[in-house]
Amino acid sequence: MASKIKIMIKTEDKNINLPSVGFGLALTFVRFGLWTSKFIKDMDEDTQRFLKDNKEVIITMTKGIFAELKKGEPFTLIEVKSNDAYVLIDIR
């Protein structure tokens, strides 16, 4: 059963290797991001209104996605290789 998300980004200049994060903590990050979006002054009004009006839908959908991911075995969600970068998102 999968229970975590692992993100790794490597470029010529930087390597970002984030620790694995459980789905519960990831959901907390989503909630925090939605809450803090109202403080971003450069965001257009339509986007801010959309996030505010659809906050509960976004959270419910995220919970649903995580519930489905938990049912499955670990897998690589995204793996992108280019000349100057490598991005990997694993569901573990």
0.95 exceeded by pTM = no
The pLDDT confidence band at residue 19, using thresholds 50, 70 and 90, is: very high
Core vs surface per residue 50-81: b (16+ CB within 10 A) or e: ebeeeeeeeeeebeeebeebeeeeeeeeeeee
CA distance 29 to 34: 9
The pLDDT confidence band at residue 78, using thresholds 50, 70 and 90, is: very high
Give the pLDDT score at 40.
Answer: 94
Full residue range of the structural domain in which residue 43 is found: 4-91
Give the pLDDT score at 45.
Answer: 93
The pLDDT confidence band at residue 53, using thresholds 50, 70 and 90, is: very high
For the chain, how many structural domains are there in total? 1
Q: Answer yes or no: are the C-beta atoms of 71 and 65 closer than 8 Å.
A: no
Pick from 72, 66, 78, 56: which is nearest to 24 by CA? 66
Give the pLDDT score at 58.
Answer: 98
